[in-house]
Every structure is written in C-alpha cells, then in structure tokens.
C-alpha cells in the first residue's frame, strides 16, 4: 500500500472507525486495534460500548468466517491476540467503578477447551461491578475447580465452554460438587456460545448467562438472595 492509501484512523468518523476496526481485528492487527480503542476513548465512548460494539462485534465476523472455512486457526489466533490488546486497555477502566465489594467468583474454562476471551470479558466486567475474581485460566479439570472452591471460598463458581464437545464437562464438575456434599454452598453460573438456558438447567447450574452483562446482573441477584437467606 502506498503512503497515499494509508488509512489514518483518527480521521475516520465513529462509524467508519468501527468498520475499520472490524477489518483490523479480522486481519489480526493488534496495534491498530489498540489505536482504535484509544481514539474511541478520547471521543468519549464508554469502555463497555467499545468492548461490545467494536471488539465483540468484530470477533463475531471472525467467528462466521472461521465456521465457514474462510479463516483458519492461525488467523483466528491473531484476531484473538488483537482483541486481547484492546481488552487490556479497557480492563482497568471497566474495573474503575469504585463499586464496593459485593462477592467473590472463581471462574475458569473447562477441561479440553482453550477459548478464554469470553471468560476474560466476564471476569473484567465482574471486577468492574465490585466482585473479586479468581481466574483459573483454561483447560480446567474437575480437581482444579474443587481445589479452588476449597482454598478461595468464593460465593460463585463460573464455568465457560465454547465447544459442544467440552460443554458436558460442566456437568462432571457439578456432579462432583453434589457427590462431595458442597453443591449448595456455591452459586454456579455457566456461559459460552453453544450453551443455552435449558442446558444450564439440565446440568444443575443455578443459571446460564448469555453474555458478560447478564453474568454481572445474575451474579448480583444470586449473591443478594444468598445474603438475604443468611440474614433471614
Ligand atoms: Co474456536 N471455535 N476452536 N478458536 N472459536 C468456536 C467456538 C466455533 C463456534 C467457531 C465456528 O466454527 N464458528 C467452533 C465451535 C463449534 C462447536 O463446538 N460447535 C470452534 C472450533 C471448532 C475450534 C477448534 C476445534 C478448531 C480446530 O482446531 N479445528 C479449536 C478448539 C481448541 C480447543 O479449545 N480445544 C478452536 C480454537 C480456537 C482458537 C485458539 C483459534 C481461538 C481461541 C483463542 C482464545 O480464546 N484465546 C478460537 C476462537 C477465537 C473462536 C471464535 C471465532 C470466537 C470465540 C470468542 O472469543 N468470541 C468462536 C466463534 C464464535 O463463538 N462465534 C470459535 C468472543 C467472546 C467475547 O464471546 O466466548 O461467546 P464468547 O463469550 C461471551 C458469552 O458466551 C458469555 O459471555 C461472553 C462475553 O459476552 N460467556 C460467559 C462466555 N463464557 C462465560 C462464562 C460465564 C458467563 C458467561 O460464567 C459465569
């Protein structure tokens, strides 16, 4: 591309910039995504809007082309890396609300699954809403969850799965909690693109969370209920 063709992100209006960020995310251009996020922040965009409209919006397009065999794992990894660059800028801003501590959550992606963008987003939003978050990362076996429940004593266990082949593992964890007699000591929230409410109920979770905002609302509601039960 010649210098004349070069796109100056700061010269684009908001709509054009978001469209350009979709393209840059698609192309895995981390620095451009970071620049785009900073420009939108300077223009007064709320961090949550940047996250959902520019970053998640762009990743949705990547998802369609990955599904359709137009993009492959290496390209999607680059897109994920670019998305994480943008998320890293937004993280402290989302956590900056000064909300009082409302509870604690342990969260992790289940065994066999290495997708972590959605989980990280949930963790960021929960922190922003005043929750303390312990992130177990990806590919967690049941033992890892059980150990964390014991050592961290959270209010909530959050599990994430992005594959139809790994989502049944959530039931393995919940069944183990039941077997060990600790299921009712925790609120269990589950999420991930292939899940739905019915699945959440079928495996014995307390709730399925469609996205990070719903996760925050659901967590607040359940923690409030738990505290009311204790004081009643
Ligand atoms: Co993967 N992948 N992937 N992938 N990947 C999907 C999930 C897929 C739907 C793509 C497709 O075909 N359209 C498909 C799954 C199909 C299926 O199971 N039916 C798929 C596949 C097949 C695979 C591989 C098997 C590909 C291969 O190797 N042949 C492989 C599996 C690896 C493994 O895990 N063992 C694989 C690998 C990868 C990459 C490594 C390249 C990369 C992951 C990088 C990373 O995460 N660090 C990747 C990516 C990026 C995707 C897509 C494109 C995007 C996922 C994402 O980050 N979305 C995805 C397509 C898609 O989902 N549209 C796809 C953005 C994110 C913000 O949304 O994760 O849904 P999401 O999270 C949301 C909600 O779901 C919810 O809140 C979040 C924020 O709003 N949520 C929770 C999520 N977790 C929650 C937990 C909670 C609450 C809410 O707890 C309380």
Final residue in a domain of this structure, among 97, 117, 140: 97
Check whether residue 123 and residue 166 sit in a common domain: yes
Final residue in a domain of this structure, among 36, 62, 97: 97
Tens of pLDDT along the chain (232 residues) come to: 444 578 999 999 999 999 999 999 999 999 999 999 999 999 999 998 998 899 989 988 998 998 899 999 899 999 989 999 999 999 898 877 666 778 999 999 999 999 999 999 899 888 878 899 999 999 999 999 999 999 999 999 999 999 999 999 999 999 999 999 999 999 999 999 999 999 999 999 999 999 998 999 999 999 998 777 766 6
Long-range contacts of 38-43 (CB under 8 A, 24+ apart): 38/89, 39/9, 39/10, 40/14, 41/89, 41/93, 43/14
Question: Could you tell me the residue range of the domain that residue 86 belongs to?
Answer: 3-97
Which candidate, 113, 109, 215, places its Cα nearest to that of 163? 113
pLDDT for position 21? 98
Torsion of CA 54, 57, 63, 68, to 10 degrees: -110
Final residue in a domain of this structure, among 50, 78, 97: 97
pLDDT for position 230? 67
pLDDT for position 130? 85
Specify the 3-state DSSP secondary structure of 32. helix
Q: Which two tokens stand for residue 173?
A: 């964890």
Residue of 51, 57, 63 to mutate, ligand 1, most atoms within 8 A of C-beta: 63
C-beta 48 within 6 A of ligand 1: no
Cβ atoms of residues 134 and 182 within 8 Å: no
CA of 32 to the centre of ligand 1 (A): 23
Closest approach atom of ligand 1 to CA 76: 41
CATH number for position 39: 1.10.1240.10
Cβ atoms of residues 33 and 84 within 8 Å: no
pLDDT for position 1? 47
Check whether residue 111 and residue 159 sit in a common domain: yes
Check whether residue 156 and residue 74 sit in a common domain: no
Instruction: Write the residue with the smallest CA distance to atom 30 of ligand 1.
Output: 73
Cβ atoms of residues 17 and 39 within 8 Å: yes
Check whether residue 70 and residue 46 sit in a common domain: yes
CATH number for position 138: 3.40.50.280
Check whether residue 90 and residue 173 sit in a common domain: no
How many separate domains does the chain show?
Answer: 2
């Amino acid at each position: 591309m010649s210098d004349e063709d070069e796109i100056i992100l700061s010269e684009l209006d908001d709509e054009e910039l978001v469209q350009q960020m979709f393209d840059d995310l698609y192309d895995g251009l981390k620095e451009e995504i970071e620049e785009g996020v900073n420009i939108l922040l300077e223009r007064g965009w709320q961090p949550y809007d940047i996250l959902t409209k520019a970053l998640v919006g762009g990743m949705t397009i990547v998802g369609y082309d990955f599904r359709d065999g137009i993009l492959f794992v290496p390209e999607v990894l680059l897109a994920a890396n670019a998305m994480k660059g943008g998320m890293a800028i937004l993280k402290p801003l989302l956590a900056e609300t000064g909300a009082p501590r409302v509870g604690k959550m342990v969260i992790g992606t289940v065994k066999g699954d290495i997708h972590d963008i959605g989980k990280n987003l949930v963790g960021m939003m929960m922190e922003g809403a005043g929750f303390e978050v312990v992130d177990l990362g990806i590919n967690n076996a049941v033992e890892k969850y059980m150990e964390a429940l014991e050592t961290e004593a959270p209010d909530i266990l959050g599990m994430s799965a992005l594959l139809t082949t790994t989502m049944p593992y959530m039931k393995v964890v919940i069944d183990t909690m039941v077997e060990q007699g600790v299921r009712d000591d925790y609120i269990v929230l589950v999420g991930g693109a292939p899940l739905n409410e019915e699945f959440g109920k079928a495996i014995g979770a307390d709730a399925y969370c469609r996205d990070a905002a719903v996760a925050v609302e659901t967590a607040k509601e359940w923690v409030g209920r738990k505290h009311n039960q204790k004081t009643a």
